């Protein structure tokens, strides 16, 4: 390629990179803002209620949505669907957050330990990670919840204990690359210990990757929680969760279809926003890597 062609290509490439960067940044900001708003709803949910979500009035059962009464209608027990959807935010987002944090803690610990050690410990931990990935975590979660029982903490801890293998595999592969970097090798030659090197060099470099993986894991756990609650294995009966509400709405899909619109919309919006956040973080990291390589 001639020098003139290079001079023409470079500005075009730079403009494309600039547009891609702005697009990913806008996606990241929008998704982060929406997710922050959803967490605010979950934390301060009593302020968003129109009525008590647990209150029932059989004289108001199966009323259609209206601006004068129930915004999203009422269910078979006369409970306000809108208030119950709002109440479901704390349950679903709380379980997704606790499960993601626990899964990341286990996955990062095992992934970094397996990649950093060159001896038998690496082989053992690698096999543990491979075995964990080979089992469908949703089936394991169903088995554990069936034995342990329903409730917020049993479900959150169960999902956290079964979602770590994918995180560990990604962290393991990334750490193998990072440990061969020149600054990490130099730190070892200067006598810096393994623990200090991991916390000083490895974990900060893993932060962008962990953020992306955590966002996608959070979305997966929201789906898993809703599925388990729909099957009757998550929240206790009567607890206002999106999965429970979908399960209850099955019998009234023809006579009261509005019973499922609220929880379905909440699930779609939350999962889509979490995935969009992951895509934005991934695009930002890719943009940074491209800029550094140039």
Tens-place pLDDT, residues 233-284: 877 777 888 888 888 888 888 888 888 888 999 999 999 999 988 888 887 7
Whether the Cβ atoms of residue 54 and residue 79 lie closer than 8 Å to each other? yes
- The mean per-residue pLDDT over the stretch 12-33 comes to 68
Whether residue 227 has pLDDT greater than 90: no
pLDDT attached to residue 290: 54
pLDDT tens by residue, 171-194: 988 888 888 777 777 777 777 777
Q: Is 80 helix (H, G, I), strand (E, B) or coil?
A: strand
Which residues does 254 contact at the CB level (< 8 Å), separation at least 6?
none
Dist CA 68 CA 83 (whole Å): 15
Helix pair 203-230, 242-249: axis angle to 10 deg = 30
Per-residue pLDDT band for 60 (boundaries 50, 70, 90) equals confident
Rg, C-alpha atoms of the chain: 24
The full DSSP string for 232-290 is: TSSSPTT---HHHHHHHHGGGTTT-THHHHHHHHHHHHHHHHHHHHHHHHHHHHHHHHH
In this predicted structure, what is the pLDDT of residue 69? 72
CA 91 to chain centroid, in Å, comes to 14
pLDDT the model gives residue 104 = 93
State pTM to two decimals.
0.84
Measured on CA atoms in the order 284, 112, 171, 221, is the torsion positive or negative?
negative
Task: Return d(Cα 137, Cα 73) in angstroms, integer.
Answer: 36
For residue 265, what are the contacts with CB-CB under 8 A and spacing of at least 6? 85
Q: Which residues of 43-73 are buried (b: 16+ CB within 10 A; e: fewer)?
A: eebeeeeebebeebeeebebbeeeeeebbbb
More confident residue, 261 or 4: 261
pLDDT at residue 270, as a whole number:
92
Q: What are the structural domains of the chain?
A: 91-294 (1.10.3720.10)
């Amino acid at each position: 390629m001639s020098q003139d062609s290079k001079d023409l290509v470079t500005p075009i490439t730079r403009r494309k990179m600039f547009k891609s960067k702005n697009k990913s940044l806008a996606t990241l900001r929008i998704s982060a803002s929406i997710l922050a708003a959803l967490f605010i709803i979950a934390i301060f949910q009593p302020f968003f209620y129109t009525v008590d979500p647990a209150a029932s009035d059989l004289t108001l059962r199966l009323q259609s949505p209206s601006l004068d009464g129930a915004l999203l209608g009422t269910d078979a027990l006369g409970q306000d669907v809108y208030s119950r959807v709002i109440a479901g935010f704390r349950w679903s987002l709380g379980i997704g957050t606790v499960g993601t944090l626990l899964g990341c803690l286990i996955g990062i610990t095992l992934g970094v330990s397996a990649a950093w050690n060159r001896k038998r410990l690496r082989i053992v931990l690698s096999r543990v990670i491979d075995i964990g990935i080979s089992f469908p975590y949703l089936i394991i979660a169903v088995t554990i919840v069936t034995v342990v029982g329903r409730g917020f903490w049993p479900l959150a801890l169960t999902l956290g204990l079964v979602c770590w293998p994918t995180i560990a595999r990604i962290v393991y592969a990334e750490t193998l690359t990072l440990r061969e970097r020149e600054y990490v090798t130099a730190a070892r030659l200067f006598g810096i210990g393994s623990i200090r090197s991991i916390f000083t060099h490895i974990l900060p470099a893993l932060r962008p990757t962990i953020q992306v993986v955590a966002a996608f894991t959070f979305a997966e756990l929201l789906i898993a929680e809703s599925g388990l609650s729909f099957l009757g294995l998550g929240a206790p009966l009567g607890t206002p969760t999106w999965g429970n509400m979908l399960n209850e709405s099955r019998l009234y899909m023809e006579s009261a279809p509005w019973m499922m619109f609220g929880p379905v919309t909440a699930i779609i919006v939350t999962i889509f926003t979490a995935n969009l956040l992951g895509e934005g973080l991934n695009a930002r990291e890719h943009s940074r890597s491209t800029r550094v390589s140039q």
